[in-house]
Each structure stands twice: as C-alpha cells, then as structure tokens.
Amino acid sequence: MYAQQAEARKRTILIIGSGFSGIAMAIALRRHGISDIIILERAKALGGTWQANSYPGCACDVESALYSLSFAPNPDWTNTFARQPEIQAYLARVANELGITPLIHFGEEVTGARWDEASQQWSVTTASRTWTVDVLVMANGPLSDPIPPNIPGLDMFCGPAFHTARWDPSVPLEGKRVAVIGTGASAIQVIPAIQPIVQQLIVAQRTPAWVMPRATWTIPKWRRTLYRRAPMLQRLLRGCLYFYHEFVFLPFRHPMLRRPGVALVGLHLKRQVRDRTLRAALTPTYAVGCKRLLVSNDYYPAITQPNVTLVPHAVMRVEPDAIITADGARHPVDVLILASGFRVTDPILAPVIIGRDGRSLADVWQGSPKAYMGTTVAGFPNLFMLLGPNTGLGHSSLVMIAEAQSKHVLGVLDLITQRGARSAEPRSGAQDRFVRMVDEGHSRSVWIRGGCKSWYLDKTGRNSALWPFGVGRFRRTVERVREEDYLTVADQAR
C-alpha cells in the first residue's frame, strides 16, 4: 500500500489555465500530497477570466463573500461585488501564499493533447514543446474564447475594434463616437463605465436583457477590520448568501414561483426608464431567466443619457467608418466594442484533445458537449474538465462548483491508486445516466421553455452549459466518487 501511495505521489499532473478553477485544483492536489504539478497559462499573468476581462466597469455579479475560495476568505473586499482588479489581485495573492505561482508556465498556449494507451500518458503540445504527463486537467474556462460577431465588413472597419475580453487600454475613448455591439453581462458593465467620457455611444441591441437591481455598496473599513478579527462573521455572511442564492434559484425551475422576480425586474425598468418608447425597446419578449438574468443599477440610467442612442436592431453590416443596423440606419462611429460573448458550447480545444480511440472531444460530442459529472468523459482516460459541460450556473458562485469538481478529481486519483491502476475513465453507461438526469432537469426549465435563444443552448438545442439544479445538489452528486462508475486499466471489462 505504501508503495502504491508513493507511486501515486509521483504522478505528473498538468493543468491548463490559471484561473479560479486551475488554482483551486492545484491547491487541492498539493494538500492531497501530490506535488508534481505543471500549470500552463497562455497569458502573461494568472487570473483566467479575471485576467482577460479588464474592460472598464468589469466586476463580479456574484457577491465577493461567496465568490471566493472556501479556504481563503478575504476580509479586505472593498465592495460587496468586487471589481476585476481586486479579484485578480486576490487570486494572485492566494496563489503566491500557497506556493502555486512557481508552478505556472506563462505564455504557454496548449495547441493539442493526445492520449497514448501504451504508455498510459497524455502528450500535451504547446508552441514551445511537448509535455508528457499522467493526468490532464482542463481548467481553461468556459468563457475564455471570445466570439467576434459574424457581421459582414467587420474586418474592413478603419478604426479600433476589439472584444470586451481583449480590451485595448491604449485606445482613448474620450470624445469619440463609440458603438457597443451586444447587451449581455459584459456590455451592461462597460456601457455605464464609458458613457460619461465618450462623445456619443451607440448601443446595438439585437435582443434586450432582463435586469435586476443589485445590492452593491462599499464595505466600510470598520467592517473589514471586524471580518479580519472575527472571521466567523464573514463565514456566516457567506453561508447566508449561499442559502439566499439557492432560494433565488427555485423560480428558474418552478414557474409558479416566478411572479415576484418578474415584478421586481419590471419595476426596476419602470423606475429607471421613464420614457415609454425607450422602455418598450428595452423590454424582452421572453420569460425572465431564459437568458442570463443580469444585475445592474447603472445600466438603465446610462442608456437614458443624452449622448447614448439605443438602436434596438441587429447590426447588418460594418462599413469602414460606420455600422448599418437592420432598420437601414447608418451610424458613423470611431471605435467598435464587441460585447458579443464567448464560445461556450463549442470549446476551442475540443477538436484537438484526442482520446483513447483516436477521436477528438469534438468528434465524440458532435456539437453537444457531454461529460460524466461535468468532469470526465468516456474514452478519455485521466482527463478532467473543471467547469466542463453542464456545470455552469446562472444564479450563484462558480468557485463552489470548481471546488466540488476538484474533490471529484482527487477521489478518482485515489481510486486509481487503490486499484493499483494507471488510469481511469467513466463507464459510458454511467455517463449516459448522468446526462439523462441533467437533460430531464432541464426539460421543464425556463432555459428551454422560456422562448429565447441563449448561449446556454448548443447547436442541437440541448442546454449543455448549465447545471439544472442547486449548488447543494451539485456538491452532493459530484464530490463523492461512485467507484462502480469508473473503469480503470486493470479492469478486464475494458
């Protein structure tokens, strides 16, 4: 047994990405006695989504007391909903203090990975070299690869044009005519932040969003001191927020409970937008919650400012100095900001991760990502995905999801050790059962029945992005490993 454990500790684990999930995984592995860890990060700094999204106004839309690692509470949050620089600094500090930063190889973008059944190892390639490892953890984030909108003429635009997740701070916006394409979570944060400085702001809205008010305020110094001296108080707050979000989630699955939420978003819009025509243009026709429910107190007030024009039409064409919207109007602009979202259901790495049978994740998924516990995939031994298919949340903190998945990974690694094996993958029957359970959970939800087209749905119409239940159920389902659901190389069944 001791020999087996010593062997297990020698395993090399490669983690792609140094965002919340990658850092949480590395810490969990270290605490479990596994030290041979490599983290590959394509950017020059850690933070994942919180490194990539540096646009003005970028902040978390889940309360920071909940959107932090369970074992690293931060008494120093200065706002109930921290802004991006503070979140990135928090993650960097935790990674430094727990010795994770030296494990990160920056500027290493993974271009492919192939499982070798003979050696029972993964070969992971980057532009600079090939890494041969025993276990591969994909912690590269579901919201990390921007989708530029597919609009004719976009590449002919003469001025600066960039995605919110690729913000170019060298472009001055002061006194410029700026267009924002999109009205999702990123757009509604960037619009109020830049509205006061631009000369004119065109907001191109293809589909309006439902927006909730948010309880955001500066945390006074005395409270931060209190949290430092009595950490239990912040833990109590975290617990209250957790249960609050679990409660708020119920209407997503039970239409009967939706009335108060519908009244709240309607009232928020009515109070903040007095002009009836503008209000009508900002009112969605789909059910509340079908697309991601947004939270903001300053989006509607920004839209009502005299230098802002809401254009409630899709952008049909881009000319070198203007955008043309579906109503035929031409809007001259100097800068284009693309708040057009991310590749969620067709992850960029899926075609280049090659499993046991020589097939890629994209070949196996056929446009609809599926994984056992959102974490492992039949035919892909020793591959783990953090924040993988059906692990997303529209209502609470993804950090808790990543931590629960990390526990699952440790459990599977222990199982491999116990069985004296080299690799593990889920049985396809177990994976099918899990996917059926998730799909049944979605079947009557607002995400499927709410009358909208959202980024939660893949090209087959399946919701492969979200977990359909509460966070508590995710933890209960995923943290514990059901040994019978996993095949190891020692099994004759394979």
Q: What is the binding site for ligand N01 (CB under 6 A)?
A: 59-61, 143, 149-151, 164, 181-187, 204, 206-207, 292, 314-315, 339-342, 455
CB of 439 to ligand N01, least distance (A): 21
How many whole angstroms separate alpha carbon 48 and alpha carbon 139? 9
List 466's β-bridge partners, or say none: 392
Q: Which is nearer to ligand N01, 372 or 474 (CB)?
A: 474
Q: Which is nearer to ligand N01, 242 or 486 (CB)?
A: 242
Q: Which is nearer to ligand N01, 186 or 445 (CB)?
A: 186
CB of 203 to ligand N01, least distance (A): 10
Backbone angles phi, psi at 383, to 5 degrees: -110, 130
DSSP element (H, E) containing 338? strand 335-338
CB of 365 to ligand N01, least distance (A): 20
Query: How many Cβ atoms from other residues are within 10 Å of residue 427's Cβ?
Result: 18
CB of 450 to ligand N01, least distance (A): 13
How many whole angstroms separate alpha carbon 322 and alpha carbon 13? 49
CB of 326 to ligand N01, least distance (A): 9
Amino acid at site 12: T
Parallel, antiparallel or unpaired: strands 315-319 and 322-325: antiparallel
CB of 61 to ligand N01, least distance (A): 4
CB of 5 to ligand N01, least distance (A): 39
Q: Which is nearer to ligand N01, 381 or 394 (CB)?
A: 394
Cβ(136)–Cβ(16) below 8 Å:
yes
Query: How many Cβ atoms from other residues are within 10 Å of residue 326's Cβ?
Result: 14
Q: Which is nearer to ligand N01, 79 or 417 (CB)?
A: 79
CB of 92 to ligand N01, least distance (A): 18
Query: How many Cβ atoms from other residues are within 10 Å of residue 492's Cβ?
Result: 4
Q: Which is nearer to ligand N01, 61 or 76 (CB)?
A: 61
Q: Which is nearer to ligand N01, 102 or 169 (CB)?
A: 169
DSSP element (H, E) containing 111? strand 110-116
Q: Which is nearer to ligand N01, 164 or 360 (CB)?
A: 164
How many whole angstroms separate alpha carbon 25 and alpha carbon 19? 10
Angle among Cα 269, 274, 276 to the nearest 5 degrees reads: 90
259 Cβ neighbours under 8 A, 6+ residues apart: none
Query: How many Cβ atoms from other residues are within 10 Å of residue 47's Cβ?
Result: 26
Query: Cα dihedral angle (370, 376, 380, 386), rounded to 10 degrees?
Result: 90
Query: How many Cβ atoms from other residues are within 10 Å of residue 229's Cβ?
Result: 9
CB of 181 to ligand N01, least distance (A): 5
CB of 66 to ligand N01, least distance (A): 12
Q: Which is nearer to ligand N01, 133 or 203 (CB)?
A: 203
443 Cβ neighbours under 8 A, 6+ residues apart: none
- C-beta contacts of 153-158 below 8 A and 24+ residues apart: 153/317, 153/318, 153/319, 154/318, 154/336, 156/318, 156/319, 156/320, 157/318, 157/319, 157/320, 157/321, 157/336, 158/320, 158/321
Q: Which is nearer to ligand N01, 281 or 314 (CB)?
A: 314
How many whole angstroms separate alpha carbon 427 and alpha carbon 377? 9
